[in-house]
A and B are shown apart, each in its own frame.
Chain A
């Protein structure tokens, strides 16, 4: 499933772009995120606890920023191993558009799971991915002084 939504953020596009590249903000916005550290340029390692249906697991995500087009947007891709829970893969394409003094952040998320997550929670994945994406971008908006507008 593709999750397509957007947030209206009361900040300039350059400010939003800077925030999108600020690991501290990304960490705070990410639900269940315990750490988010840069390994090399545009490559990060994140530790996230997530619950999908009956399966709760700690994931070690490798996160990469690609298709970087400052300050218009990028694609953030993650691939996480959750041990016996299986694995999760996801990407979010983020597009920033100026709207007066504010910025529209549009996102398009895709998610895939494997292993136990798929066996027990496949039909819950879409809902979980949408919830996590909306929470992430909602939190992100709030960190920039806006209100969750997804």
Chain B
């Protein structure tokens, strides 16, 4: 292993700048001549816009322009799009209402964009926004997921009868129904996956600049995928041709999915900076983030498992209603379909699965991917249902899982729901987790807690996820509008240091360190001589960005492939300089060596020769700079078992997580310290969903959890010190042997926490968030 190479706990290179206040975020950018944008948002969940009078606002002090949906349409700026098709059960594509970046004639959720005021100062923009007079014709609102498609409901979009975006059945219904007919036992469960507001620490922001000389728009954005933003805004929104649009995602303070999407504010800022021919800046305040960031989750489901007399799963049947909000966000359609139903097998060899998903529109903010995206919903449903099965069969939760695990010798394993798992050892992770959690000693601890009037519970969650998104061919067949390969460029400078350009984007993941470790391992260049560059379409060749735990599993491999090309070229250069045959050159630890001799040349010297090719192989191009693309053959399938132990105070309903053990299979770890940080963060995210977070709209469609007064985020005192370990297996299709780790905690944790609480109270189920009130009520009714 190279020093600071694969497997080393290198301290994050980027942290020096973050910890010393030298991070460069979008809102840090101030441009000469800059104006400020402020959006007039609908206070109503559902209303027609009878008129918008902007005259008083336009005349207000400092106002540069007041723009509406009519102006947007007049300039030919296209509506926001959803990039993934899901075919509904009538054979038609999913229903896609027009989603104009500024409303045209109707608003469909509180926070919907009606107009934008552009002024010299933010205060002037806000003051003028108050003078925009909008005459609304208020309509009844639809907010509840379960009843959104009911007969007689208020219709939101003409194109979507009964507020249905799609009905999407998957699986062999007849075979599944037959298996249920002959089952020994049927276990069933109704459950809700609570709506989340993602709450990245840095709110969204955009700064747009137009250069009338070059006719180029430069858009600094809080984005996880600058090239995707550029592509969508060029190809679908007609903002500017791709070569005249530069998108920069500088330092970004957390994404968690919410900064994947192309938002109205971003498109409007890009358009407005050209229209007013002045730089335009917009930064979301926290309440705007609650209102208009895409939300996550929000499912209502009924799940059933058919079992034989030994507790083996024979078939599963799932019926899900998923709330997509008022409009389709960029990837909204795929989250409750392909990213959800295709994970319903979990770690189990259930041979038959039938799922129906009804995706509905409501008068709420658009819902899209949030850390895990579909997989947390699938895992919560399945791992809760498995615990109900265990209870119904009188089996220990660990035992019923073991009886149904896909055996280690069955990989690659084709599930009945499309995914083919390439590798895994689910028993190994379970065994390790049980030992880490001292599962056998739980009864004694529960007894001791009882003597103090507390109730202890222990909960398991054995999850699998599909990430390393994604094989382009597979997602193309599913209806995605893009390919999901990744690209890299590794460039030596003549002085021997290295710049690594990646199409992924780091917004907290530590790519600048992890990717540098990959390169130092492979090329032997000291890590301090390696700089990782990302997030600017004018610098990096192309890329699909960061989400779905793909950066290392896809982007990292592209970097490794570019390094391989450099080594191959370097062998030619070294062979020439060392007067040896190319076939005799070996490369190790940064040196090209003539095999069996002490003749060697460092890669930095080779790079210098490539740029100063005074004596150089004939016909070989100068330069030491290689590009590579990588398109994976399959998803990667991280998996693991998380075990949560809680102590519940039945008198107050308070839940204390006293112990949390996680054993994950992420394949090979490049920087174990960063991985552990990702595991910690993911678990805390999942604990937040399980215990605290719940986005609530009232029946009029007003968002009543729109600030931290009413929306509880997890804090340090909500979690214990975690016990983290690994049970790796090697994914054969991934050249680096890596699987991805960013979402695992958020996927594994919610059912572990809820299973622990139901175990403590001896109840069948409790919905998330299990707040003290909900837990207290459950404890009272359980007696």
Q: Among the listed stretches A63-71, A115-123, A135-143, which one makes contact with chain B, having 4 or more residues with CB under 8 Å of it?
A: A115-123
Residue B704 at the A interface, CB < 8 A? yes
Contact A119 B707 (CB under 8 A): yes
* A44 CB, nearest partner CB in chain B, Å: 20
Assess A120 versus B287: contact at CB under 8 Å? Given A87-B43, A114-B43, A115-B43: yes
Partner of A119, one of B44, B126, B130, B291: B291
User: Is A114 within 8 A of B287, CB to CB?
Assistant: no
The residue that A118 contacts in the complex, of B130, B702, B709, with Cβ under 8 A, is B702
For chain A, residues 98 to 125, give those with C-beta under 8 angstroms from any C-beta of chain B.
Answer: 112-116, 118-120, 122-123
Q: Given the known inter-chain contacts A84-B130, A87-B43, A114-B43, please indicate yes or no for A119 contacting B700, CB distance below 8 A.
A: no
A119 touches B698 (CB 8 A): no
Asked if A83 is at the interface (CB within 8 A of a chain B CB), the reply is yes
**How far does the Cβ of A74 sit from chain B's closest Cβ, in whole Å?**
24
Is B129 in contact with chain A by the CB < 8 A criterion?
yes
Question: In whole Å, how far is B703's beta carbon from the nearest beta carbon of chain A?
Answer: 6
Q: Would B43 and A116 count as touching, CB distance under 8 A?
A: yes
**A90 within 8 A of partner (CB):** no
User: Is B110 in contact with chain A by the CB < 8 A criterion?
Assistant: yes
When the two chains form the complex, which single residue of A86, A122, A123 contacts B43, counting CB atoms closer than 8 Å? A86
In chain A, what residue has the closest Cβ to B710? A123
Q: Taking A87-B43, A115-B43 as contacts, is the C-beta distance between A122 and B702 under 8 angstroms?
A: yes
Contact A122 B698 (CB under 8 A): yes
Given known contacts A83-B130, A84-B129, A120-B287, is B707 in contact with A115 (CB within 8 Å)? no
Chain B residues within 8 Å of A113, by CB: 702
B706 interface residue (CB < 8 Å to A): yes
B291:A114 contact, CB within 8 angstroms:
no
Whose C-beta in chain B lies nearest to the C-beta of A113? B702
The smallest C-beta distance from B103 to any residue of chain A, in angstroms, reads 15
Q: How many A-B residue pairs have CB under 8 A?
A: 46
Contacting residues, chain B, for A84 (C-beta < 8 A): 126, 129-130
Q: Which residue of chain A is the closest to B127 with respect to CB atoms?
A: A84
| Residues on the A chain within 8 Å of B706, using CB | 118-120
Distance of A75 from chain B, by nearest CB (Å): 20
Min C-beta distance of A101 to chain B, whole Å: 44
Nearest Cβ in chain B — how far from A124, in angstroms? Answer: 9
Q: Within 8 Å CB of B710, what residues of A?
A: 122-123
CA distance A116 to B288 in the complex (A): 10
A112 and B43 within 8 A (CB): no
In the complex, the chain A residue whose C-beta lies closest to that of B130 is: A83
A82 → B minimal CB distance (Å) = 9
Interface residues on B, range: 10 to 19
Report chain B residues within 8 Å CB of A118: 110, 698, 702-704, 706
Q: Is B290 an interface residue (CB 8 A)?
A: yes
**Distance, CA A115 to CA B111, complexed state (A):** 8
A86 to B706, CA, bound (A): 14
Contact across chains for A114 and B707 when beta carbons are under 8 A apart: no
- B41 to nearest A CB, angstroms? 8
B291 cross-chain contacts in A, Cβ below 8 A: 119
Distance between A148 CB and nearest chain B CB, rounded to angstroms: 31
> Which residues on the B side are within 8 Å of A115 (C-beta)?
43-44, 110, 702
Q: Enumerate chain A residues within 8 angstroms of B700, measured Cβ to Cβ.
A: 112, 114
A112–B700 alpha-carbon span in the complex (Å): 9
Distance of B368 from chain A, by nearest CB (Å): 21
Instruction: For the complex, give the distance between the alpha carbons of A116 and B287 in Å.
Output: 9
Q: Given A87-B43, A112-B700, A114-B702, do A119 and B287 touch, yes or no (CB 8 Å)?
A: yes
Given A87-B43, A115-B110: A122 touches B704 (CB 8 Å cut-off):
yes
Closest residue of B by beta carbon distance from A83 = B130
Contact call A120/B709, Cβ cutoff below 8 A: yes
How many angstroms between the C-alpha atoms of A27 and B707 in the bound complex? 34
Bound complex: CA A116 to CA B290 (Å): 12
A-contacting residues, B718-770, CB 8 Å: none
Contacts of B129 in A (CB 8 A): 84
- Given the complex, which residues of A lie within 8 Å of B702, measured CB to CB? 113-115, 118-119, 122
With the chains together, A62 CA to B706 CA distance in Å? 27
Determine the chain B residues whose CB is within 8 A of the CB of A116 once the complex forms: 43, 287
Residue of B nearest to A84 (CB): B130
Please give, as numbers and ranges, the residues of chain A lying within 8 Å of B287 by CB-CB distance: 116, 119-120
Instruction: List residues of chain B with CB within 8 A of the CB of A119.
Output: 110, 287, 290-291, 702-704, 706-707
- The digit string for B228-272, where 1 denotes a CB below 8 A from any CB of A, is 000000000000000000000000000000000000000000000
CB distance from A85 to the nearest CB of B (A): 9
Complex CA gap A114/B43 in Å reads 6
In angstroms, how far is the closest chain A Cβ from the Cβ of B725?
Answer: 43
A84, A86, A87, A112, most chain B CB atoms within 10 A: A84
* Chain A, Cβ-Cβ closest to B42: A115
Docked CA distance A120–B290 (Å): 11
Assembled-state Cα–Cα distance A114/B126 (Å): 19
- Which residue of B has the minimal Cβ distance to A89? B700
Select the residue from A115, A119, A123 with max chain B CB neighbours within 10 A. Answer: A119
| A122 to B700 CA separation, bound complex (whole angstroms) | 12
List residues of B whose CB falls within 8 A of some A CB: 43-44, 110, 126, 129-130, 287, 290-291, 698, 700, 702-704, 706-707, 709-710
Q: List 6 A-B contacts (CB under 8 A).
A: A116-B287, A118-B698, A118-B703, A119-B110, A120-B709, A122-B710
Given A114-B700, A120-B287, 7 more contacts at CB 8 Å?
A: A84-B129, A87-B44, A114-B702, A118-B110, A119-B287, A119-B707, A120-B707
Taking Cβ atoms with an 8 Å cutoff, the residues of A that contact B are 83-84, 86-87, 112-116, 118-120, 122-123
